[in-house]
Structure 1
Amino acid sequence: MGKTTTASELREMSDEQLALTLKESRESLFRLRLQAETERLDAPSELKRHRRLIARIKTIQNERARAAAAAAAPPA
């Protein structure tokens, strides 16, 4: 992942695509952390980028869950 994925690009993805991207980012972050511990990390900024991407994805998933819950709730 050379380019940063924006929130608007993530919002255009389906739930399945978001889940897959989240899984891939978590795996990449894990590998980067291992490289950092063994002092083989070339670009420390990649850690920050993956953490922020994971946060963006989880935020969008939470927004969608809240919207679905609000739509399913009976009007007061």
Structure 2
Amino acid sequence: MVKGSEIRDLSDDELERRLGETREELFNLRFQHATGQLDNYQRLRQLRRDVARIRTIARERELTLHGEASEKGASRG
């Protein structure tokens, strides 16, 4: 399980890479679950939460950048 503070320290490129890796692992575990080969069901839950955590932090960054741009445009008024 990845902590939010660890994710926040990553750059945007590293965040995208981590999201891709996590989604790929989640896909593989879902496939194992469907074929009855999955041993650790808890890992599915952890990965789903990691994906949500990563996407949330990415969205926070996006909104922060958008908000700063909007404030700069509004102050010119």
Instruction: Output the TM-score relative to the length of structure 1.
Output: 0.92
**Aligned residue pairs: how many?**
73
In the alignment, structure 2 segments of 5+ residues that lack a partner are none
RMSD across aligned positions (CA): 0.9
Greater helix content: 2
Instruction: Output the TM-score relative to the length of structure 2.
Output: 0.91
Encode CA deviations 1:40-64: one digit per residue, 9 max, x unaligned: 0010001000000000000000000
Which structure would you say has the larger Rg?
2
- Residues 1:23 and 2:13 aligned together: no
Match of 2:40 among 37, 40, 43: 43
Identity of aligned residues (%): 40
- How far 1:23 moved relative to its partner? 0.1
